A and B are shown apart, each in its own frame.
Chain A
Amino acid sequence: MSWLIDPFADFAFMQRALLGCLAISLGATPVGVFLLLRRMSLTGDAMAHAILPGAAVGYLVAGLNLGAMTIGGVAAGLVVAVLTGAVARFTALREDASLAAFYLISLALGVLLVSLKGSNVDLMHVLFGTVLALDDAALTLLCAIATVTLVALALVYRPLVLECADPRFLRSVSRWSGPVHFLFLGLVVLNLVAGFQALGTLMAVGIMILPAAAARFWATSIGGMLAVAACVAAISSVAGLLASYHAGLPSGPAIILAAGTLYLLSLVFGPSGSLAARFWPRAHLEA
């Protein structure tokens, strides 16, 4: 058992990495579950790219400074989210096409800004994360974002569920439809920024979507999915960090691959809607 406990007991950087990943597991996975239920799984991916120019501007202005890169990332993400939502609501273009247009513009801008400063090892941290080097400020930020996310989701749970399940009904009984949609996109951006502190912009979406996709094969209620997804993310975090420690693997991809493994296992063996349920059905209910 010592291989399981010792890395976390002996090394402060492993403890900090674990705490950071658990915070992300709690905050990002419920957002991922709602993305999945709204058929917006790829939105997370697009948004992660949209954040890049903001983080790059922060980096160019202030160097590898957490505050500047966070503010830049959140600002860029929110601008794309608001423009996307506004175009989808007020013009003939659908949300997916509108988002694709804005995130591609944003991504090109980001790549341009990144290349201005030439290749830089620090910048690799932005792209691939620095979970093994989280400082106090980064940890505080991760925990704060997780807290804000959970409180916000608890508050708008009913309008959010209704906006997903029957948006037209929500519009007929209240004015929540627009606000709850934008608030949700705001939470997506916040959690992607949290994720890229630890896992990098490219890996941040993984901890959001893979646990949610795995949870779909285990639970048939929203509450059940939220719980399973958080557990999958937490287990992936521990497993990924241990693999990273013992085998010398980069931690971000190790965590996401652990989540990917759990997803594939769920896909095959999960009790609800999985391949096993499809190809080896149990006998139907008989009186």
Chain B
Amino acid sequence: MALRVRDLTLGYDRHPAVHHLDLELAEGSLTAIVGPNGAGKSTFLKGVMGELPPLEGKIERGAARVAYLPQLSEVDRSFPLSVKAFVAMGLWHRTGAFGGLSRADLSRVGEALAAVGLTGFERRPISALSGGQVQRVMFARLLLQDADLILLDEPFTALDAKTAADLLAVVQRWHGEGRTVLAVLHDIEAVRRHFPETLLLAREKVAHGPTDTVLTAENLFRARQMSEAFDDDANVCARLAEQPAKRGAA
């Protein structure tokens, strides 16, 4: 089991954004998270990374090492770092805070850059990269992290078709290597073609399982309705509202 989530509620300022989620991800599964804006997809990934403590419920990470590509990265792109130095940060698990980079590590960096099509970019400053190149660099760093569970938050948004296809190939390579991948995506067609499993999220779990059984017209319609309904009454947890005695605990 790469990830097990039980009755998980996550939120900000006690306002729940993900409600009572139960989920199990098998090791080596390739899962897309789909749902409307504000459905709690990014919040869920933050919860798995431990950036947001659960308001309720439990998250068990079976994977030894987890890598995470956030949607709004806090990378300071004006920082004077070369592509090589930036990507090499992905080797933190080998070097730690103090260790140096061995010759083997440097060749790993070269291989990772080759895998994302950035051979020859080693000495470029990250400030000189285009948006698509930055995302390729982020993937090269993810490759070096050698993680068992990889979380991607909208990894292909705002990329041209070629870049998206190249990076999707990297995701498929991870899948082939038996790593567990969980990716937030908005392109339903791409999910149908390339992701065997899907979690449909609209603050609550709408459905989870094989993609073709999850992404039905009926489920997608329900997800949109649930999301809109929640927005009208986003301040309190609906389940607790049904039980006035427990409202104080919300």
Chain A residues within 8 Å of B, Cβ to Cβ:
37, 155-156, 158-159, 161-162, 164-169, 171-174, 176, 219-222, 224-225
Contacts and interface: CB of A to CB of B under 8 A. Distances in A.
- Summarize A's interface: helix, strand, loop or mixed: helix
A166 B89 contact: yes
Given A219-B80, A221-B80, A172 B86 contact: no
Contacts of B79: 37, 164-165
B226 to A, nearest CB: 30
Interface stretch (B17-25, B92-100, B162-170): B92-100
B178 interface: no
A55 B66 CA distance: 47
A119 to B, nearest CB: 46
Contact of A174 (B70, B74, B97): B97
Contacts of A168: 70, 73-74
Interface residues of B, number: 25
Nearest to A221: B80
A267 to B, nearest CB: 17
A165 B49 CA distance: 20
A158 B81 CA distance: 12
A213 B4 CA distance: 50
B93 A221 contact: no
Interface of B: 49, 51, 66-68, 70, 73-76, 79-82, 86, 89, 92-93, 95-98, 125, 141, 145
A176 B98 CA distance: 12
B86 A173 contact: no
A162 B89 contact: yes
A224 B85 CA distance: 14
Contacts of B81: 161, 165, 221-222
Nearest to A168: B74
